């Protein structure tokens, strides 16, 4: 049975990629066959992810379920394709499956030229996303990220909107820089740890006995932090994000902002912080400050946006700040909250991009000043949009998962630095300002003259079936987890607690091989946060 589930896990990664390549090379003129096959390629990972979630029971020794190894021939430098899921990767894997299905089924009905190429690139991206979160091997974790990233670049370039050439180039250069920094960090981690493979499990067990020296931890974690940070649009390395999302076609923006961007945070949570605890503690205060930059500064930038798509893109940059803050707490509470928030935010932002495009198709503009009164013609669309926007703000509303994530992050943050909660909560107010204002501008109020002209020219329809299916799938999952958060939090806890327990106790001197001989009073100043945290009652 275990073998079968592992096989299903492998299939979720490779089936979309194989179908995508097949469609690209052999799909010409076989429209009738291509559509159902592409649909199967999008649907299978989603269904399989739900099934694997249902049957998730990790092995108590490793913390992973569905482990399997596929040989690659690069074993001599420690690379094997090892797939599996633990409590941290499970929510994101589920998110990748469901968001991929939503983006894919929406793309299947999108009226674009070169439909076949578009869908096959999206399938390859979907497979890559599944691989990112299913990989236990750090190398393949990186590898699948790039598999998913390249189609994004091409999709922006061919099917993108305004300024797409510039946006695609800028995004590619930023993301390559980030990816390479993190790759070097991962190689550094592997070589220094002395582990016999790139697998997270063997890295963990190699570092369990003897941690790296403080200096090594410091620079390796810095490589990972800034490499991954650029990928997650950490302030001030975020400028590619709004531009790229603004130019990207809807499905690509949904998958990139919703799922792929979580790669960096996931890498820091799963690999970076637990394996380099000393380095993590030393860098965390800076990270927390930058993350507050994401929340407050980008928050104000978002408020100033007139363009709906730019606003959604920037709001996703802003919410990444909360996830970073959760990580910065370095406690099971904060990190667990970050994972839930990543999951919920992925669903919300995919929904927002999807609904944003639905609005665009009805108003022919992304400029919110030229919209108004759309709720009269499209009440259902309005209801969906309002619900999603409330979720995105983080209101405890109708049982939405974002609320639980933000709440837990705030609790963690309170234990870390009380004052940081103030700007963080202020961020919620900011999101409420731009979120509710967008709702008001688009759906209520008097329609502008231009919009009135347009709606006289053709009938504005309410949300259609091909739009409703992906919206409902995403929304139902969001509400389900919102009403019953334990379905995910139990397994998240089971994985996060063992990794982050180590931060709860003040470090013993034995873990400072460099400083062991030095007077304990002369310990580097960087240890101060750890000490003060332990006093504050954690």
For another protein, the binding residues (CB under 8 A) are: 71-74, 76-77, 139, 142-143, 146-147, 150, 153-154, 157-159, 164-165, 168-169, 172-173, 176-177, 180-181, 183-184, 187-188, 191
Minimum CB–partner distance for residue 107 and another protein (Å): 17
Give whichever of 165 and 437 is closer to another protein, judged by the CB atom.
165
**Helices and strands (DSSP H and E) totals, the chain:** 24, 2
Report, in Å, the least distance between residue 276 CB and another protein. 16
The smaller minimum CB distance to another protein, of residues 223 and 438, is found at: 223
- 501, 507 Cβ separation under 8 angstroms: no
CB of 71 to another protein, least distance (A): 7
Judge contact between 241 and 317, C-beta under 8 A. yes
Q: Which two tokens stand for residue 353?
A: 């991009």
Is 31 within 8 Å of 91 (Cβ atoms)? no
State the Cα–Cα distance between residues 251 and 273, nearest whole angstrom.
Answer: 32
> Closest separation between CB of residue 67 and another protein, Å?
21
Pick between residue 153 and residue 353 the one whose CB is nearest to another protein: 153
Do residues 261 and 233 make contact, with C-beta atoms less than 8 angstroms apart? yes
Q: How far is the CB of 168 from another protein (least distance, A)?
A: 7
Alpha-carbon distance 459 to 461, whole Å? Answer: 6
Residues 6+ apart with CB under 8 A from 421: 410, 413, 414
What is the rounded CA–CA span in Å between residue 234 and residue 231? 8
Within 8 A by CB and 6+ apart from 229, the residues are 178, 237, 264, 287, 290
Q: Which two tokens stand for residue 28?
A: 């010409």
Q: Among all chains, which residue has been given the structure tokens 């020794």?
A: 61
Report the C-alpha gap between 247 and 265 in whole angstroms: 24
Calpha distance 35→39 (Å, rounded): 6
Q: Which is nearer to another protein, 20 or 91 (CB)?
A: 20
Question: Please, which residue, 180 or 494, has the CB nearer to another protein?
Answer: 180
Measured from the CB of residue 199, what is the shortest distance to another protein in angstroms?
15
- Please say which residue, 129 or 342, places its beta carbon nearer to another protein: 129
- Type and span of the H or E element at 170: helix 164-193
Q: Of 303, 297, 295, 301, give the one whose Cα is nearest residue 434.
A: 303
Judged by CB, which is closer to another protein: 177, or 395?
177
Q: How far is the CB of 148 from another protein (least distance, A)?
A: 10
Question: Considering beta carbons, is residue 113 or 449 the nearer one to another protein?
Answer: 113
DSSP labels, 330-372: -SHHHHHHHHHHHHHHHHHHHHHHHHHHHHHHHHS--BGGG--
Which is closer to another protein, CB of 88 or CB of 188? 188
Q: Minimum Å distance from CB 309 to another protein?
A: 19
Least Cβ distance, residue 176 to another protein (angstroms): 5
The angle subtended at Cα 235 by Cα 533 and Cα 530, nearest 5°, is 10
Which is nearer to another protein, 272 or 405 (by Cβ)? 272
User: Min. distance of Cβ 10 from another protein in angstroms?
Assistant: 13
Nearest distance in Å: CB 188, another protein? 7
**DSSP code per residue over 436-485:** HHHHHHHHSSPPPHHHHHHHHHSPPP---HHHHHHHHHHHHHHHHHHH-T
Between residues 127 and 326, which has the closer beta carbon with respect to another protein? 127
Residue with smaller CB distance to another protein, 73 or 209: 73
Closest separation between CB of residue 73 and another protein, Å? 2
Kindly tell me which of 189 and 342 has the beta carbon lying closer to another protein. 189
> What is the nearest approach in angstroms of another protein to the Cβ of residue 202?
16
Q: Which is nearer to another protein, 181 or 428 (CB)?
A: 181
Q: Which two tokens stand for residue 24?
A: 């690209």
Region of 66 (left: φ > 0; alpha: ψ -120 to 50; beta: rest) is left
Beta bridge partners of 69: 82
Using alpha carbons, list the distances in angstroms from residue 160 to 38, 45, 168, 346, 470: 21, 26, 9, 21, 21
Q: How far is the CB of 234 from another protein (least distance, A)?
A: 18
Note if the bond before 236 is cis, omega within 30 degrees: yes
């Amino acid at each position: 049975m275990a073998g079968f589930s592992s096989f299903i896990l492998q299939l979720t990664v490779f089936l979309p990629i194989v179908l995508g390549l097949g469609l690209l090379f052999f799909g010409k003129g076989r429209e009738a066959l291509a559509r159902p096959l592409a649909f199967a390629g999008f649907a299978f990972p989603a269904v399989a992810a739900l099934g694997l979630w249902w049957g998730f029971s990790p092995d108590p020794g490793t913390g992973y379920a569905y482990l399997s190894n596929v040989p690659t021939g690069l074993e001599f430098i420690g690379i094997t394709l090892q797939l599996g899921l633990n409590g941290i990767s499970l929510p994101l894997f589920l998110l990748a499956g469901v968001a991929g299905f939503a983006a894919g089924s929406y793309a299947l009905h999108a009226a674009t030229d070169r439909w076949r190429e578009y869908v096959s690139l999206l399938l390859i991206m979907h497979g890559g996303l599944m691989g990112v979160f299913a990989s236990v091997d750090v190398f393949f974790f990186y590898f699948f990220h790039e598999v998913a990233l390249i189609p994004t670049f091409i999709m922006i370039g061919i099917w993108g909107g305004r300024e797409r050439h510039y946006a695609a180039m800028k995004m590619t250069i930023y993301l390559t820089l980030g990816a390479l920094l993190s790759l070097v960090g991962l190689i550094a981690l592997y070589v220094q740890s002395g582990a016999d493979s790139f697998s997270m499990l063997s890295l963990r067990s190699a570092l369990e006995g003897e941690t790296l020296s403080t200096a090594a931890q410091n620079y390796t974690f810095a490589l990972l932090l800034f490499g991954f940070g650029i990928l997650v649009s950490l302030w001030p390395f975020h400028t590619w994000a709004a531009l790229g999302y603004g130019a990207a076609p809807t499905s690509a923006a949904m998958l990139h902002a919703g799922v792929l961007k979580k790669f960096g945070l996931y890498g820091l949570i799963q690999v970076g912080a637990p394996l380099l605890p000393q380095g993590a503690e030393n860098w965390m205060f800076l990270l927390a400050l930058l993350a507050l930059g994401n929340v407050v500064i980008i928050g104000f930038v978002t408020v100033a946006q007139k363009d709906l798509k730019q606003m959604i893109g920037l709001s996703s940059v802003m919410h990444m700040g909360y996830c970073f803050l959760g990580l910065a707490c370095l406690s099971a509470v904060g990190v667990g909250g970050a994972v839930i928030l990543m999951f919920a935010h992925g669903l919300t932002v995919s929904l927002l991009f999807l609904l944003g495009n639905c609005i665009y198709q009805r108003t022919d503009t992304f400029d919110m000043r030229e919209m108004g009164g759309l709720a009269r013609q499209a009440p259902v669309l309005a209801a969906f949009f309002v619900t999603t926007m409330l979720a995105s703000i983080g209101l405890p509303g109708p049982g939405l998962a974002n609320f639980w994530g933000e709440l837990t992050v705030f609790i963690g943050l309170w234990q870390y630095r009380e004052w940081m909660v103030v700007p963080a909560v202020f961020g919620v107010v900011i999101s409420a300002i731009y979120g509710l204002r967008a709702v008001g501008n688009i759906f209520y109020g008097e329609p502008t003259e231009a919009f009135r002209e347009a709606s006289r020219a053709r009938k504005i329809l309410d949300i259609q079936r091909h739009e409703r299916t992906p919206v409902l799938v995403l929304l139902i999952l969001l509400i389900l987890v919102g009403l019953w958060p334990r379905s995910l939090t139990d397994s998240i806890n089971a994985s996060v607690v063992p990794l982050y327990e180590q931060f709860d106790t003040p470090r013993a001197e034995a873990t400072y091989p460099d400083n062991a001989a030095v007077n304990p009073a002369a310990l580097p100043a960087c240890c101060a946060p750890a000490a003060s945290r332990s006093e504050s009652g954690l």
